[in-house]
Structure 1
Amino acid sequence: MATMLEGLRVVEISSFVAAPLGGMTLAQLGADVVRVDPVGGAADVRRWPLAPSGTSLLWTGMNKGKRSITVDFRSAEGRDVVTRLAADAGIVLTNAVGRPWLSYEALSEARPDLIHLQIEGRHDGSAAVDYTVNAEVGFPFVTGPPDHGAPVNHVLPAWDMACGLYAATGLLAAERRRSRTGEGARIRLPLHDVALAMAGNLGFLAEAQLGHDRERVGNYLFGGFGRDFALAGGRRVMVVALTTRHFADLCEITGLQETVAELERLLGADFGVDGDRYRHREALAALLAPWFAERTLEEVTEAFRGSAVLWAPYRRFTELDLEGDPLIGEIDQPGVGRLRAPASPLDTGTGDRAPVPAPRLGEHTDAVLADLGLDAADVAALRAKGAVA
């Protein structure tokens, strides 16, 4: 898998999550992704969380497998280096704003068939980030406990993640077209559009247009049956019955078939239908809760073994067992040390996926400049002028 995109080079000028994730996705598939930062690093170079050394665990996590070069964006010589890199690679991924010299119009003068993808806040060019976009689109008012009046923000930067994966997909689609037609592409990807598109794709927008204001349901699964349950000993599990078989197995294992059937008769409901399981979720949960409360996690694990019930215990990040997971490998990350880190989740069955550490900031400056045909004297001259670090 690490060679699927061998020969593809991407210049990435970015920070934070969406654009770096797009670049890393391509790097993990074998592309040569050259991350270009200003001297000293971009705004995310010290972004929390931090290792004891002060190294950003976010930065290292989002830049695995890339090469790194640092350039003085304020100098003509530094901007010329970036332009030459873009022309050589032919593909640019960026979320940098306020730099006309990084625009498609400017860079395509050096490479007419350039593929240029610009991540933006909104389509009108105004600024936005994941957390402000999430607030605008409506999700905080359907997140959280039913009796909670204020909006509840999310922790997972879902729109940044979707945006980064859209960016990787868009670049590959444009590169495929260029390979057939020779045409470049200017692609704009507003973060707000990503969130709005997904809200529409998931039915939230249509539901609102049809006059329904989605309710808060806490940890219940909307439109079906699923909820968290407390166990003996203080642990909690999430249980989900997406299908009739899931629900039937849950009732059988808990010994509630007859009780649930009688409840179904009294309510005039059909628990073989998702909607009825959802409408009567609180009654069903009240029947199930005592069974869980009387059992430990080990007992629940044994009871559900081999069944169709979908369930999982709640765990903290510190409780995750990464050893032996095929996604996880051990790397020696500069500035952090030895740690377990994920490779690409795309598994082609070849057994060759393994995580690659993120570079040190500017680690590959000399090598990248050499790829452009600059010799040691040229690099020394650029460094003497402060054009590269």
Structure 2
Amino acid sequence: MSQPLRGIRVLDFSKVLAGPLCAQYMADMGAEVIKVEPLEHGDDTRLWPPFRQGEGTVFLSANRGKRSIALDLKSPKGREVCARLLKSCDVALETFGPGVAARLGIDYESVHAVNPGVVYCSISGFGSSGPMREGKGYDVILQAFSGMLSITGERGGNAVRSPFSPVDQATGLHALIGILAALFERSRSGKGTRVEASLFDTSVAFLAYFLQSYWQRGTEPERAGSGHESLCPYECFQTKDRPLILGVANDALWRAFCRIAKLEELATDPRFATNACRVQRREETVKLVSEILRARTREEW
């Protein structure tokens, strides 16, 4: 297996999900990752149930391939060990709360002074500038703050949290992209740099086409259940026995569906022939497709 990051040493001060996942991806690519944890109980997720041999499974899912060291970064001895590690690392990754890294003497300016080639990545809730820079960020907070919760769930129902922590996970990927770009630039310039990723930036990026549609339409998006405001039919339907997902993402697929359903006349019916027409007649289209799909079992479809 190719290991493009072999020889790269990463010092991982992060915890919970976004940062640990970012560092884990680097370990998967061959980097040597040293996870630095506090003495008391380590990463918070070590204590999150369920457990496997005493370790939280969430922790295990985001920290494979790493070495680990527990340090008291408030003690002189702990700081001395940390300083030695920082001098020899290529990448430093942290998710400390606002001002904590500076108080511990491991902020970008301090690390850069002793290791000019370091790629230093900070992951935060709302970034290092702006009126909310002091705010702490968790996945569910950003799902709510950005509006993701308001568009997730069944039509007319309550807000629903996406349970797989998409903001955390994607922020880890955004941080990884920035780190890899910075390492590539360092290979040409010899200089390190600072990389930032935030849960806020990720959550807003997730909503890009919703925002564009809002600016065009002037009304806020509504919850669509398993559906899609710009496509129809594109949601979960009930068959004769079990639910089935139907994703008609273009007119060619609509014609194919009509052919399979032996309703070729619908493919050329001007009311349903194009996606724009079907979206405009969503209620009628969904009702029609629902009746068709209920005629057979899921296996038959």
Q: TM-score, normalised by structure 1?
A: 0.70
Distance in 2 between residues matched to 1:108 and 1:217, nearest whole Å:
48
Query: What is the percentage of aligned positions where both structures have the same residue?
Result: 28
2:164 corresponds to 1:163: no
| Structure of higher RCO (CA pairs closer than 8 Å, 6+ residues apart) | 1
Residue 2 of structure 1 deviates from its aligned partner by 4.2
Aligned to 1:111: 115
2:140 corresponds to 1:131: yes
Q: Is the CA contact 1:50–1:56 (under 8 Å) kept in the aligned structure 2? A: yes
| Partner secondary structure for residue 218 of structure 1 | coil
Q: Is the CA contact 1:17–1:62 (under 8 Å) kept in the aligned structure 2? A: yes
Residue 259 of structure 1 deviates from its aligned partner by 4.7
Aligned to 2:160: 152
Letter in 2 for 1:284: T
Q: Is the CA contact 2:272–2:285 (under 8 Å) kept in the aligned structure 1? A: no
Residue 172 of structure 1 deviates from its aligned partner by 0.9
Q: Is the CA contact 2:266–2:272 (under 8 Å) kept in the aligned structure 1? A: no
Distance in 2 between residues matched to 1:190 and 1:236, nearest whole Å:
37
Match of 1:184 among 178, 188, 192: 192
Match of 1:140 among 144, 149, 152: 149
Aligned to 2:287: 286
1:327-346 counterparts in 2 under 5 A?
none
Residue 297 of structure 1 deviates from its aligned partner by 3.0
Letter in 2 for 1:20: P
- Paired residues in the alignment total 289
Aligned to 2:49: 48
Residue 257 of structure 1 deviates from its aligned partner by 2.1
Distance in 2 between residues matched to 1:68 and 1:296, nearest whole Å:
52
1:292-331 counterparts in 2 under 5 A?
292-300=293-301
Distance in 2 between residues matched to 1:70 and 1:165, nearest whole Å:
25
Distance in 2 between residues matched to 1:13 and 1:2, nearest whole Å:
26
Distance in 2 between residues matched to 1:54 and 1:133, nearest whole Å:
30
Aligned to 2:77: 77
Q: Is the CA contact 2:146–2:203 (under 8 Å) kept in the aligned structure 1? A: yes
Distance in 2 between residues matched to 1:108 and 1:296, nearest whole Å:
63
CA shift digits 1:309-342 (9 cap, x unpaired): xxxxxxxxxxxxxxxxxxxxxxxxxxxxxxxxxx
Distance in 2 between residues matched to 1:2 and 1:59, nearest whole Å:
26
| Partner secondary structure for residue 186 of structure 1 | strand
Distance in 2 between residues matched to 1:90 and 1:132, nearest whole Å:
32
Aligned to 1:198: 206
Q: Is the CA contact 1:221–1:240 (under 8 Å) kept in the aligned structure 2? A: no
Q: Is the CA contact 2:153–2:225 (under 8 Å) kept in the aligned structure 1? A: yes
Distance in 1 between residues matched to 2:62 and 2:244, nearest whole Å:
30
Letter in 1 for 2:169: M
Q: Is the CA contact 2:121–2:175 (under 8 Å) kept in the aligned structure 1? A: yes
Distance in 2 between residues matched to 1:219 and 1:203, nearest whole Å:
17
CA shift digits 1:260-309 (9 cap, x unpaired): 64xx34xxx3522x222222232222222233323333222xxxxxxxxx
After superposition, the CA RMSD in angstroms is 1.9
Letter in 2 for 1:109: A
Q: Is the CA contact 1:254–1:288 (under 8 Å) kept in the aligned structure 2? A: no
Aligned to 2:130: none
CA shift digits 1:4-63 (9 cap, x unpaired): 211111111111110011111111111111111112312221123433x44211100111
Q: Is the CA contact 2:24–2:63 (under 8 Å) kept in the aligned structure 1? A: yes
Q: Is the CA contact 1:91–1:116 (under 8 Å) kept in the aligned structure 2? A: yes
Unaligned runs of 5+ in 2: 128-132
| Partner secondary structure for residue 51 of structure 2 | coil
Distance in 2 between residues matched to 1:230 and 1:49, nearest whole Å:
34
2:215 corresponds to 1:209: yes
Distance in 2 between residues matched to 1:249 and 1:206, nearest whole Å:
30
2:285 corresponds to 1:271: no
Q: Is the CA contact 2:254–2:267 (under 8 Å) kept in the aligned structure 1? A: no
Letter in 1 for 2:244: V
